[in-house]
Structure 1
Amino acid sequence: MERLVRSCYKQGGYVFAKKAGAPAHGEGDMRVARLASNENPEPPSPAAIAAAQAAILGANRYPDERVDVLVSALRAHYGEYTFVTGVGMDGVIETLMRTLVDPGETVAVSTPTFSFYGLAGQAQGAKVIPVPRRADFSVDTGALVRAGKDAKIVMLCTPNNPTGNATPVKDIQKVLEGIGGVLFLDNAYIEFSGIDYLPLLRKYENLVIGRTFSKVHSLAGLRIGYAFVPAWLQPFYLRAGTPFTVNSVSAAAAAAALTDKGHAARYITQVTAWRKRFSDALTYPVLPSDANFVLVDVAPHTSDEVVEKLATRGVLVRSCRSFTGLDDHYIRVSIGEDWENERFVRELNAL
């Protein structure tokens, strides 16, 4: 019966980071430094936890289909923008693809980047066109505009995963003014960058900005994504969306998390300090980053080799071998707690 499976799923798929587990060598009870998945090492805000506990008492009822508690909180936090929500950033991307892309149409993706953009496009039957970045991982705006002339959606991550660099606002404007479809700007890591793309929403009707509660707000396990969208798009997005996708517990926790500015600020401070520390202390080149992770060039080693060696020493980092267009000598390292970061520096330098 395997013949019934669509060809795009007979191989490939999303490549997950190495999971936490006991180190292969050393003490079996050694704590594992989890620096592979760009997670916030701090537990959720107490406000978010309290809101989730209260909301679960009503879990016998279906959630609000419009997620009004979260949308209202987003408006209170950011202003009178138009919002949509999804199960993580992935859910927003999937629904946007479903809303706009017919089979056979084009989706252009700035690479190397988060592989799910291409997977979501393939799932919709789109022709996915990778548009390589320059050697320094900056966006080749000319090439992206040319690829995006006939594309329904152009996917651009800034700060970019896994390279960490952000794209200047002026380059985003060039893309918006040159393409024929919608630009999806993935801002999952924007809080760590100091860059603000939101003013562009007032000028361009082909811009969608996606964000998440997984990183700065410590809610990766609750899977909450959202997007700023032009007003014309919202009713169609809601029509295309799967019913009741965002659960009431996650929505309540996310809404409450927005009220705890100190929680987010603490991790942003931690990230800023450790990005510099990694750059100064590591004996391998560290690329400049605007995100809560850094990309490290571990040549002459391969990325998989270093990931396996570090895992035996109780440190989990991400191999970048699976990122299309990225050479096989880079690892991506999240910024965790002090002890995790210190162990990583010590163990990588010891290789």
Structure 2
Amino acid sequence: MMSEWVKRRVHWLERAEGYRMPESADLEQDAAAPPEVIKLDANENFFLPSELLRTWAREVADQLDPRFYSTVEYHRVVRALSDRVGLSPAHIVLGNGGDQIIDLVARTFLDATAKAVSISPTYSFYRLRARLTGAAWTEVPLREDFSLDVDRLLDVGREAQMIFLCSPNNPTGNRFDPEQIRSILRRFDGLVFVDEAYAEFAGETLARWVTEFRHLIIMRTFSKLHGLAGLRLGYMLADPIIARPFAEKMQYPYSVSTFTLHMALKLLEHDEHVRTAVEQMRSERARLQRELNAIEGIRAFDSCTNFILFQVNRPVESVHQQLIERGLFLKKIGDVMSYQNCLRTTVGPREVNDRLIIALRRICET
């Protein structure tokens, strides 16, 4: 037996738009895919040595007792981040991945009476979580050079309660002009959420702006720079007037596993490995972009992230499938503004990028 109320909620849930897991999760069902396919679709970090992370994981596993909740470790990570970003611990809230922060922020500040605005194209999760709250959702296209149309964004958002931005932006790979974001913060008195998942690859951050703008929330993650995508750790930076009640009232108790917190501490304590990985990635990113642009029929866009968006001169479905058959799985983007047939690739190590370059030459130049 099921009440009408439960039936209505189930019906609503069935009609709601959900996040689509990366298509690489279905690779086993693709008969044309070779047994070992290199995943280049999720912007993961190839440059931190996996053996180093495994060594630390073994050390952590030997040290911790999984029977007990994490308490001390949580505050140790917060203090370490405080030193790193130059903000007091009162500005920092940890979460079970950046997506959990996005979800909780949307559920905290939006409801069926609210309106939220973002840009297009950008990370889809903001839209999905905002709509689940019942809030109205509007997107403002980027300019053709992928820059912000600030005046239009503010005009559309005149009655909005919240603006979502991603800088550097996914999937375009560019960082927005900080002065444009400052203009938004000065002219818009609702909440401004800035996703900085890729900021450390760009070498610049707005983190300390939360001391100047009390209506700014910044989200960061350990999934990209720190190579902990599988362990789920993100964090929010905000004025304590937001951060404190958010941590106390909205965030789950023991929201991050003890194992994840210990791994985060290892990375924060051995920052030299992270810095080296970033330098290697930037060098390889520049080389990969040059090589892609040298292929007839390909245009690779500038990037300050660990991925590159590029356009091909063939139907994107066909190119995507041919790459799978060659053991390379990229993110199929499609149309971006007026640019058709776009793909996004994670910047991999040199040997992986060389394999991609050779494959694309054979596909696009024949």
The TM-score normalised by the length of structure 2 is 0.87
1:268 equivalent in alignment to 2:278:
yes
- Cα contact 1:320–1:326 (8 A) shared by 2: no
Letter in 1 for 2:24: K
Q: Does 1:187 align with 2:196?
A: yes
- CA RMSD for the aligned pairs? 2.5
TM-score, length basis structure 1: 0.90
- State whether residues 208 and 227 of structure 1, in contact with CA within 8 Å, keep that contact through their aligned partners in structure 2: yes
Aligned counterpart, 2:80: 73
1:242 counterpart (242, 245, 252): 252
**1:216 maps to what in 2?**
225
The letter of the residue matching 2:276 is R
Aligned to 1:308: 321
Q: Secondary structure at the match of 1:347?
A: helix
Match of 2:10 among 5, 11, 35: 5
Identity of counterpart residues, as a percentage?
Answer: 29
2:144 touches 2:338 (CA, 8 Å); kept in 1?
no
1:53 and 2:61 are equivalent in the alignment = yes
CA 1:340–1:105: 2 relative to 1, 3 Å:
same
Q: Is the aligned partner of 1:329 residue 2:341?
A: yes
Cα distance change on mapping 1:111 and 1:314 into 2, 3 Å:
same
User: How far apart are residue 36 of structure 1 and its match?
Assistant: 0.8
Q: What is the CA distance between 1:267 and its match in structure 2?
A: 2.2
Aligned length: 346
Change (3 A) 1:46 1:273: same
CA distances 1:111-132 after superposition (whole Å, capped 9, x unpaired): 1011000011012221111111
The residue identity in structure 2 corresponding to 1:34 is: K
Please give the alpha-carbon distance, in whole angstroms, between the structure 2 residues aligned to 1:325 and 1:54: 51
Q: Does 1:345 align with 2:352?
A: no
Aligned to 2:112: 103
The AA in structure 2 aligned to 1:309 is: Q
Higher relative contact order, structure no. (Cα contacts within 8 Å, ≥ 6 residues apart): 1
Structure 2 Cα separation of the partners of residues 236 and 107 of structure 1: 22
Residues 213-258 of structure 1: CA distance to partner in whole angstroms, max 9, x if unpaired?
0011110000000011111001221202233221111112112211
* Aligned AA (2:260): S
Q: 1:154 to 1:324 in 2, by over 3 A?
A: farther
Give ranges in structure 1 of 5+ residues lacking alignment: none
Which structure features the higher share of helix residues? Answer: 2
Q: 2:86 touches 2:208 (CA, 8 Å); kept in 1?
A: no
How much has 1:7 moved relative to structure 2? 3.5
What is the alpha-carbon distance in structure 2 between the residues aligned to residue 198 and residue 51 of structure 1?
32
* C-alpha displacement of 1:46: 6.3
CA distance in structure 2 between the partners assigned to 1:122 and 1:291 by the alignment: 28
Q: Which residue number corresponds to residue 86 of structure 1?
A: 95
| Aligned mates of 1:271, 1:86 — CA distance in 2 | 26
1:286 equivalent among 300, 305, 310: 300
Paired residues of 1:112 and 1:162 also in contact (CA < 8 A): yes
SS at match of 2:230: helix
Deviation of 1:169 after TM superposition, in Å, equals 1.0
Distance 2:172 2:21 in 1: 17
Could you give the per-residue CA deviations for residues 36-57 of structure 1, whole angstroms, max 9, x where no partner exists?
Answer: 10001232646852563246x3
Q: Structure 2 CA distance, aligned partners of 1:272 and 1:179?
A: 34
1:106 CA drift (Å): 0.9
The 1:306–1:117 alpha-carbon spacing in structure 2 relative to 1, beyond 3 Å, is same
Counterpart of 1:259, as a letter, is E
Deviations 1:97-117 (A, max 9, x none): 122112231111111011000
Letter matched to residue 74 of structure 2? V
Letter matched to residue 341 of structure 2: H
User: SS state of the match for residue 134, structure 1?
Assistant: coil
Unaligned runs of 5+ in 2: none
Deviation at 1:167, TM superposition (A): 0.5
Distance 1:305-1:201 versus aligned 2 partners, 3 A rule = same
SS in 2 for 1:208: strand
Structure label with greater radius of gyration? 2
Residue 254, structure 1, aligned to residue 267, structure 2: no
Deviations 1:186-224 (A, max 9, x none): 110011112232342231111111110001111000000
Match of 1:40 among 38, 45, 49: 45
Q: Deviations over 1:233-292 (max 9, x none)?
A: 012212022332211111121122112222212321222122222222121100000100
Deviations 1:73-117 (A, max 9, x none): 211322333101111110111111122112231111111011000
**Contact 1:8–1:122 at 8 Å: present in 2 too?**
no
Tell me how far apart the structure 2 counterparts of residues 6 and 257 of structure 1 sit (CA, whole Å). Answer: 44
Tell me how far 1:10 sits from its aligned partner.
Answer: 2.2
